[in-house]
Amino acid sequence: AQSVTQPDIHITVSEGASLELRCNYSYGATPYLFWYVQSPGQGLQLLLKYFSGDTLVQGIKGFEAEFKRSQSSFNLRKPSVHWSDAAEYFCAVGPYNTDKLIFGTGTRLQVFP
């Protein structure tokens, strides 16, 4: 069955530190991969997506993610975190033959000054 795992429920970093949020997926083929961010009480905003091609994708707000087929991973990174990055981050998989999304359980990011 298709699934998405975000191993880290909660991460705390200091402002200015680097960040990596982990995402692993289970799918028979190469899926479409997404990272979304959700601020409290709001909907989800698309940070970046991977469909094919270059395995390192750039997104908005200085985020990037790298697709590693051998590890079935799509980890999100940012070199220097800002206090405004504090939010919930969701990794999602879109199977090839459907426009549905399968979401991970999310990682809550806290940023300390």
Partner 1 sequence: GAVVSQHPSWVICKSGTSVKIECRSLDFQATTMFWYRQFPKQSLMLMATSNEGSKATYEQGVEKDKFLINHASLTLSTLTVTSAHPEDSSFYICSASKGRSNQPQHFGDGTRLSIL
Binding positions for partner 1, rule: CB under 8 A = 32, 34, 36, 41-46, 49, 51, 90, 94-101, 103-106, 108
- Shortest separation between residue 31's beta carbon and partner 1, angstroms: 10
Is the CB of 14 or the CB of 98 nearer to partner 1? Answer: 98
Nearest CA-CA partner of 6 in 22, 29, 28, 27: 22
Is the CB of 62 or the CB of 103 nearer to partner 1? Answer: 103
CB within 8 A of 107, min separation 6: which ones? 6, 8, 9, 10, 11, 21, 22, 88, 89
Is the CB of 66 or the CB of 88 nearer to partner 1? Answer: 88
**d(Cα 104, Cα 14) in Å, to the nearest integer?**
24
- Shortest separation between residue 18's beta carbon and partner 1, angstroms: 25
